[in-house]
Structure 1
Amino acid sequence: MAQPYLHEHVTCVAAPATWLSDRSGQLRGGADGLYVDDRRVLSRLIVTVEGAEPVPVQVRRTGAASARFTAVLPALGDDGPDPTVTLDRRREVGPRGGTETLTLTNLSHATLTVEIAATCETDYATMGAVKDGRDTGSTVDLGGTPAAARDGMRVSVTADPAPDAAGALRWRVTVAPRDSWSVLLGFTRTDVAPITRVAEPSRLRVTADDRRLDALVRTGVEDLDALRHADGEHVYYAAGSPWYLTLFGRDSLWAARLALPLGTAVAAGTLRALAGRQGVRHDPETDEEPGKILHEVRPVDAAHWLPPVYYGTVDATALFVSTAADAYRWGLPAAEVEPLLPHVERALAWLAGHDGFIAYQSSAKGLANHGWKDSGDGVQHADGRIAKGPLALCEVQGYAYRAAVDGAWLLEAFGRPGAAGWRDWARGLAERFRSAFWCPGGYPAVALDGAGEQVDSITSNIGHLLGTGLLTPGESARVAGHLAGLRSPFGIRTIAPSSAGYNFLSYHLGSVWPHDTAIALLGLVRDGHRQDAAVVIRAVLDAAARFDFRLPELFGGDDGPAPYPASCRPQAWAAAAGPAVLTALLGLDVDMPAGLLRLAPLSPSPVGAYRVRGLRVGGGELDVSISADGAVTVHDGPAGLTIVQP
């Protein structure tokens, strides 16, 4: 069956919970529901007044975890064209469930006596079953005392004031003119332990001439805060709502790195959570290997066709090393970095254990592709042929080069041996890449296939090579030129429209992914392609404005950013595009161990003048203003740092 569409849903998130409904607020089926830990707590919630459903007129998000729905009852109240009876629903989700406050307001001239009823049910479905569009079986009426699911999952429902009779959520109410009546409904998954929201909210904010930047950063920060989850004491960003509200290797690491302007706490927690599950053995059932970093974790009762702990990713291991190095540069204390170094060394050993290039072979029990474009058709030749493995992806070689250099720097900084050997290994990888990956058209192949043939599609993957150090300046310029050819007005397309497999609404073959665009943006800045970077920033802001500044996981890559119907929203690494844009705008380079913070703002600024407050570096915050022509005024900065400007 087809995967449910989400593009018209209203989503409220407080990891590990998410609440999805249409714009009326009613839960009717499909993906609608309140979920906790990948299980559906509430599958149906229909509110009626005098047996009729209210007519929705407005909905707005009031935060990442809350929304307000307004509806009218046209058959009630005064005669005439104007509605005089309204029903307001204020929804808020928490880590174990959620609440909804229903308020009936009588603006008519006569006293109103009506019955308000709420029909609510659950099917205890797993997120995997919902995502697949499968029949989730019979439902349980939650109006009375619900029975637990066979596996022990339990849901409680509360109402204040209590309903008129046990077993049904019904109230006969009398409301005087200009008065209102309210009831608070609560839905909680009670078989899981209480969850404390982790870490203080982020304080990063920006005020710019282009106010779209303010909204993008504010919404992204709110969503990232809502997506904070924890593995024990280790905080991380859950990848995205609703399909991926859990720990992912690649996604959680990239989100933590892009969001380093919010602080190092999430990066540290992500690293510790992944280090605790770093591979120790060869297991073909889960793709675990010694030193390897996992792909995703699911609760045992919600795991679908993949194992609860699954290692089918080729890039998370290198990203783990570079995230550790970046977190240290941004001020993660040495005492927190040092315990991670044995895990860094094991990750580096996993990289070096490959013959020639870091490659993967899909297994029958796992994902077809192990890079970030992990759909079955995600890696194609320009003529549309599906690439056959084992596959060596171009961006993974860039990640590995950067990881070896970063790992050498970390080992040297902490007085551990092996730094020179890893720098030599990185140079050898770059030489092999240069001789094998460059296509006759002057761009890197997306991959080498199992026969050593170049997979010659022009893809956004090449943008991930920028800023890694793998490319020479001339090679970097050629990559930047080809990225310009991939640009839509709203970001960087995943594949060139000239490719036979191009489809602007495919998952990986023509769509635009905000995180993918943000990674390329940072690489453009690091490699000195500043005018290209300014164009990309304006494209990201144009896209953000089309999506109410809550960027989705992906969207259509044509000349209008059509929603991808099954896209997660919010998605952590898409939400982190806002902080990443700030990093690029500022030309920010942080090296806390050296006591340096470098600012080289894009000039002229693509957003006009702007001021950034609450950007965390180490234990302090940066407060800085940038004029439209790039002049810097530092209002406050972290103690002990020298701020360097060009």
Structure 2
Amino acid sequence: MAGWNADTAAGPLGTGAVTLVAGSSFCISLANGDIHPEHPHGVFVLDTRILSGWRLTINGQPLEPLGAETKEPYRALFAARAPRLDGYADSPLIVERLRQVGAGIQEQLTVRNYSVKPAECVISLRIEADFADLFEVKEARIQRRWEETRQTDSDTLTIRALWQEVRKSVVIQAPGADIAPEGLTYRVSVPARGQWSTVLTVAPGVEGTSPEASFGHPEGEGLSPRDWRHREWVAKIPVLQMGNRSIERTLRRSYDDLGALRIEDPEHPERVVVAAGAPWFMTLFGRDSLWASEMALPVDPSLALGTLQTLADHQGTVVDPMTEEEPGKILHEVRLDVSTGLALGGKSAYYGSVDATPLFVSVLGAVSRWGFAKETIAALLPHADRALDWIRDYGDKDGDGFVEYQRLNDQGLINQGWKDSWDGVNFADGRMAEPPIALCEVQAYVYSAYLARAWMAYDAGDAALADGLADQAAQLKKRFNEQFWMPEHGYYAIALDRDKRPVDACASNMGHCLWFGWWMRTRPRRC
């Protein structure tokens, strides 16, 4: 994979597409609730699309969308109209689909008849499952073709698939439906000014469990696990009241969005970490997760601690050119169940990030001041020291005192800072910077990492280590201001290229330097 660009971006989601997320599971559909395989739609669980087609018709007609309301990040209500067969625009039949995402989806389907006469309806749902992994869908390159078998039971349809030695399955539960291999059908008479309703559940096939197991009461009585989790999150959020209601609404939406990005470490379910973003990046990223969790410290410090602990578990131990893993390095991205070579590095974890490693130490320094037990922080200090070893042994590739990056294989990310698109680092005249590239903000992160580890050493009574790290930070700051400051422009270079030339484009990267107190009151004069 060559990195994020126009060639690898997902295709259009469709007008009014709705995205729901719950942990690492998510669902993308059209505004009427349908899922179409020709779009990057679907229900995704553990980075696998378990449902690629979910198209509802009434009397053979697709639904006309009227509106969709996202009630919670994981639940939405879709309202649509069933077209009349006689061609008239008015229709007495309104369809509501209340959908909740969990380990799959649960959908309460309701047909309301506003006519004075009963309505005879054939309600059909066509179902498809291609078990594509997330990268195949995102890049619109479905490479694998699974051997599929379908089994019907009294009220369930089970789709099983085999590719090489990988087996996957999905179970669709539809009480009272006529089940066929291609989908399901209800033949109902909706009473005049009345309604008809049923509940459909879709979940990965797991022996010994029911598809309904991860959802609450199907009729909406009681709370689902996601409702409880959302309620606990809301309860711990600081309540702010101010005269500007617009800011209040923005903050509430931000809290909801951040809550929706919380995912669990599969190896340690008690840990909650921050995913990078919905929908395609509902997984742990080094840089993104660290930044988000540090900014959320006033709301929930445990997010940062969980993120640090999980990243520490995945810290690099060997040199692997394909995944760009190196001893002490913090990963760029980890995926849960990706089984194609489209994943970065071809494996579940990819380490092509130059900034996550110093950020790890910097965030640990911040977390150490939020009241966690000393032994909890002490357990992470060896990982911080290994991260500093990586800065010294692998990060500074040419010994000039700055941390640079250059991908180790032609499939990795070309740019490995927070602007990691292939054309993210260039000169003011448009020329691309050639690697190895030393980004300005990465040097600021390293400076912060030295100071953070020095603070923790002081706290532990190790003055010698603390003084040494503080001295390294001061030297780096001085050297940076000598080589990155461009007096003719009045701002820092975004980077130094392979020939140590300042890359003079004006970008937001330099703002990170201000965040860490990186500027010097008296600027050095360049010869």
Q: Give the corresponding residue for 2:413.
A: 367
Residue number among 121, 141, 152 corresponding to 1:114 in the alignment: 121
The correspondence for 2:17, drawn from 6, 9, 19, is 9
Give 2:177's aligned residue: 163
Say which SS state the counterpart of residue 278 (structure 1) adopts.
coil
Distance 1:82 1:99, change over 3 A: same
**Take 2:66 and 2:465, find their aligned partners in 1: how far apart are those partners?**
65
Q: Summarize the alignment of residues 484-503 of structure 1 with structure 2, pairs less than 5 Å apart.
A: none
Q: Distance in 2 between matches of 1:70 and 1:388?
A: 52
Q: Which moved more, 1:427-436 or 1:279-288?
A: 279-288
> In the alignment, which residue of structure 1 is the partner of 2:76?
67
1:432-455 CA-to-partner distances (Å, cap 9, x unmatched) read 101100122110010000100011
Secondary structure of 1:119 counterpart: strand
- What is the aligned partner in structure 1 of residue 293 from structure 2? 256
Aligned-partner SS, 2:468 = helix
Candidates 329, 332, 348, aligned match of 2:388: 348
More strand by share: 2
Q: Cα gap change, 1:108/1:397 in structure 2, threshold over 3 Å: closer, same or farther?
A: same
Contact between 1:50 and 1:116, CA under 8 Å: does it hold in 2? yes
Q: How do 1:60-459 residues align onto structure 2 when only pairs under 5 Å count?
A: 60-75=69-84, 83-94=91-102, 96-135=103-142, 144-150=157-163, 151-159=166-174, 161-167=175-181, 168-191=183-206, 200-202=232-234, 203-204=236-237, 205-231=239-265, 232-233=267-268, 234-302=271-339, 304-306=342-344, 307-353=347-393, 354=396, 355=399, 356-363=401-408, 364-416=410-462, 418-439=465-486, 440-459=488-507
Are 2:47 and 2:337, in contact at CA under 8 Å, matched by a contact in 1? no
Give 1:434's aligned amino acid: N
SS in 2 for 1:238: strand
Q: CA deviation at 1:226?
A: 2.2
Alignment of 1:32-51 (within 5 A): 32-51=41-60
The CA distance in 2 between the partners of 1:64 and 1:435, in whole Å, is 48
Counterpart Cα distance in 1 of 2:192 and 2:493: 71
Deviation sequence 1:40-97 (CA, Å, 0-9, x none): 01101110111111211111111100111101124179x9875421000111101x21
CA distance in 2, matches of 1:419, 1:352: 17
Which TM-score applies when normalising by structure 1?
0.69
2:217 is matched with none
Gaps of 5+ in 1: 476-646
Change (3 A) 1:433 1:262: same
Tell me how far apart the structure 2 counterparts of residues 226 and 444 of structure 1 sit (CA, whole Å): 36
Tell which deviates more after alignment, 6-15 or 373-382: 6-15
Listed one character per residue, the Cα deviations across residues 79-123 of structure 1 (whole Å, up to 9, x for unaligned) are: 9875421000111101x2111111000111011111111111111
Show the counterpart of 2:35: 27
Instruction: Output the TM-score relative to the length of structure 2.
Output: 0.84
CA contact (8 A) 1:128 1:302 kept: no
User: Contact between 1:130 and 1:136, CA under 8 Å: does it hold in 2?
Assistant: no
With over 3 angstroms needed to count, the CA separation of the structure-2 counterparts of 1:189 and 1:162, relative to structure 1, is: same
Shift in alpha-carbon separation, 1:123–1:84, aligned structure 2, 3 A? same
* Aligned counterparts, 1:491-530, within 5 A: none
1:592 maps to none
Deviation, 1:425, is: 0.3
Instruction: Indicate the RMSD between aligned Cα atoms, in angstroms.
Output: 2.4
- Kept in 1, the 8 Å contact 2:158–2:170? The answer is no
**Aligned partners of 1:242 and 1:473: how far apart in 2?**
43
User: What amino acid is aligned across from residue 503 of structure 2 in structure 1?
Assistant: V
CA distance in 2, matches of 1:468, 1:384: 28
Q: Report the Cα distance in structure 1 between the residues aligned to 2:130 and 2:180, rounded to whole angstroms.
A: 21
Partner SS state of residue 153, structure 1:
strand
Partner of 1:239, secondary structure, is strand
Between the aligned partners of 2:48 and 2:371, the Cα distance in structure 1 is: 37
Number of residues of Structure 1 aligned to a counterpart in Structure 2? 472
Per the alignment, residue 554 of structure 1 pairs with none
Q: How big is the shift at 1:166? A: 4.9
Aligned to 1:513: none
Report the counterpart of residue 465 of structure 1 in structure 2.
513
State the identity %. Answer: 39
SS at match of 1:376: coil
CA positional deviation for 1:191: 4.7
Q: What amino acid sits opposite 1:164 in the alignment?
A: D
Q: Kindly tell me: are residues 457 and 51 of structure 1, through their superposed partners in 2, closer, same or farther at Cα, counting changes over 3 Å?
A: same
Are the counterparts in 2 of residues 437 and 448 from structure 1 also a CA contact under 8 Å?
Answer: yes
Structure 1 letter corresponding to 2:511: G
Against the structure 1 CA distance between its residues 449 and 165, is the aligned structure 2 distance closer, same or farther, given a 3 Å change threshold? closer
Kindly indicate whether structure 1 or structure 2 has the higher relative contact order, using CA contacts under 8 Å at least 6 residues apart: 1
